[in-house]
Structure formats: structure tokens, C-alpha cells
Amino acid sequence: MSEISPVPFSVLDLAPIPEGASAADAFHRSRELACLAEQLGYHRYWLAEHHNMKGIASAATSVLIGYLAANTTTLRLGSGGVMLPNHAPLVIAEQFGTLETLYPGRIDLGLGRAPGSDQRTMMALRRHMSGDIDNFPGDVNDLINWFDAADPDPAVRPVPGYGTRVPVWLLGSSLYSAQLAAQLGLPFAFASHFAPDMLLQALELYRAQFRPSARLAAPYAMVCINVIVADSNRDAEFLFTSHQQASTRLRRDGSVQLPPPIQDMDSYWNPAEKYSVERALAMSVVGDKAKVTHGLESILHQTRADELMINSPVFDHQARLYSFTLTQQIHRSLFA
């Protein structure tokens, strides 16, 4: 690993609601995971906005960020991401300006262009659909201009929010956000944990087209992947079947709560489902410490990522905590 510079590891938490659990359980488990992540030395901890999803409790993303920030002391917390077309930019500026004011130097705002929901839910969120996605670049610029106090006397001033310098990231799983992040000189995160097909092309485009800005002098790319570590390959692969089942069910009939693992996936999915899910989850590293170490080395060589964000969709809470603990042990061994 001598030719690879040290790379921070971070946490993506979808606040999963496993079968038999509640949203309240998910929040308490997120608090426990955030405290552990801080203790272990993870760099940042992000939560993602989803709506009308039975198995994800982080719909009110900024509220949950505030809850976790109040229960930690140094960990960076943020959104991975807020789906900006669902919101008025002023509201997001005020929410994240409030978080930054309460927890200075600890808040990130990651922005996505996707809806994070189905068509009916989008209507319920936005009330109308006229041009919201097309406004994304302008909405991002509005947020940055408020956070950077670009206009000394704006007609509309987010209070708090104006001049708070909240770090803004662009998130994506295609080339669009890679190009926009490069154009605006912003850090970029790619969602390869569920949509890896365009990862390398997006990273290449982002780096090639990057324009330095007052916020960022050189490109900074974060890659999100699935990682599950256990004491044996067999144990880790067993735990991974929860995510494989949930991904299969998502394609069959929509959102489900994370199911318990099973011994035999081949009896659960058909060949077409297996192909689709395995392609979507191709950026998953599952196994014991030795196997995951090798897998992470390969990803770092392949992507030249400046940061890895780890999603660990494990049904059993203690096994999930243990996976994150082992992952950080691997991190220390990689960059000792």
C-alpha cells in the first residue's frame, strides 16, 4: 500500500428499520453507531433522505443529524444526501445553518438531484413538479452564495445560515453531478453502493473537468461502497443475504424492511433477479478481515478515491457494530 496515500474511512447510515424493529429502534441504533464511529476514528457520518420507504427511517434528515450531533462531540455529521429538488433552497440553508451554528465545524451538506422517492411521494413532497429538477444547478448556487455571504446585502437572508460556510458536496450515480461538481469546484461523492456502473467514468470526468474554486483547490472524490466484515467469509456472506433479499424485494414489489439473513439465496431469487442485484451490489466487499483487506486495497487502487464511505446493511445490530469495528481495524492496518 506504499503507493497509496492514507484515505479516510467514513460511515453511511440509512437508519435501517429491520423486520421486527421500529423507527425509534433505528434512531437509538444510529446513535449507538455514531458514538462508536467517533470512538473508532471514522472521519464523517452521513445520513440519507428517503421517503415512503418502510425500511429507512432517515426521511427528516436534518432532524436526525441534529440528534446524533447532540450525542457526539467531534464526529462530522451530514447528509448523503438531501434531495434538493424536494425542498426550497432557503429551507435547507436555514436547517443546515442552524445545525452549523449549534455544532460549528461538524456539519456537511451533501446534495442529490434524485427524488429519493416514487412519483406519488414526489407529488406529496413538492405539490407540483414544474421544473424542480431543472433548477438544480441554480439552487445549488443559491445555497453556496448564502453560505459564503457572496451578496453583502441579499434581498433574502437565511437566518441562521448566511455566512456559515457549510461545506457543500454533490452526490450522484451518473455523469451529471460529476460534471456539475467539477464545474462548480465542489467535492463529489459517488453512490456506487447501489449503482456502480458509471463509477470510473464519473470519477475520470470529474477529475478531468475540475475547476478550482474558493471552496476547493483540487478535486476530492469520495466513493461509497458496501462492506460487511465478520470472523469468517461464511459468516459475512450469511449476513450479506439480508441486503441481497431486500434488494431483490425492492425490484419485485417495492420497499421492505431489512429481513433476517438466510442460508440459501439461490432458492430465494431467480436467475434474472440474481443478475440484476449482483450487478447493482458489485461494489460490495464481504468476508473476513483478510478478504476485505484485499478487496479494499483493490478498490483504492482502481478508483484512487480520496475517501471511502462505508455502508454496512446488516440485520443484527451487534453484528453491524462489529463489522464497523473490524473495518476500522483494517483501515489502521492498511495505513499503519
What pLDDT does residue 131 have?
Answer: 46
Answer whether residue 243 is part of any domain.
yes
Tell me, what's the pLDDT at 87? 92
Burial label for 145, CB within 10 Å (0-12, 13-18, 19+), is middle
Whether the Cβ atoms of residue 161 and residue 120 lie closer than 8 Å to each other: no
Say if residues 244 and 219 touch (Cβ distance below 8 Å).
Answer: no
Contact present, 240 and 228 (Cβ < 8 Å) = yes
C-alpha gyration radius of the chain: 19
| Each residue's pLDDT tens digit, 22-68 | 999 999 999 999 999 999 999 999 999 998 889 999 999 999 999 99
Q: What is the pTM of this model?
A: 0.94
Containing structural domain, residue 218: 9-334
For residues 87 and 116, what is the distance between their CA atoms, to the nearest angstrom?
12
Half-sphere exposure of 122 (CA within 13 A, CB side): 16
Amino acid 336: pLDDT? 81
The x, y and z cell numbers of residue 124, run together, are 406529496
How far apart CA 129 and CA 257 sit, in angstroms, is 29
For the segment 250-275, what is each residue's pLDDT rounded down to a tens digit?
999 887 899 999 999 999 999 999 99
pLDDT at 141: 96
What pLDDT does residue 129 have?
52
Cell 440474481 found at: 274
* 243 burial type by CB count under 10 A (0-12 exposed, 13-18 middle, 19+ buried): buried
Distance CA 1, CA 180 (A): 32
Alpha-carbon distance of 148 to 166, in angstroms, equals 8
pLDDT score recorded for residue 127: 47
Residue 183 lies in a domain: yes
pLDDT < 50 positions in the chain: 1-2, 116, 127, 131
Q: How far apart are CA 121 and CA 181, in angstroms?
A: 27
The answer to whether residue 2 sits within a structural domain is: no
Q: Is 202 exposed, middle or buried (0-12, 13-18, 19+ CB in 10 A)?
A: buried
Say how far apart CA 88 and CA 80 lie, in whole Å: 18
CA 98 to chain centroid, in Å, comes to: 21
Identify whether 121 is part of a domain: yes
- 30 in a domain, yes or no? yes
- Count the domains in the chain: 1
Look up the CATH number of the domain holding residue 56.
3.20.20.30
Tell me how many degrees the CA angle 164-165-168 measures, rounded to the nearest 5. 125
Looking at the domain assignment, is residue 3 inside a domain?
A: no
Residue 138 lies in a domain: yes
pLDDT of residue 256: 87
Neighbours of 76 (CB within 10 A): 21
Identify the pLDDT of residue 255: 78
Residue 4 domain flag = no
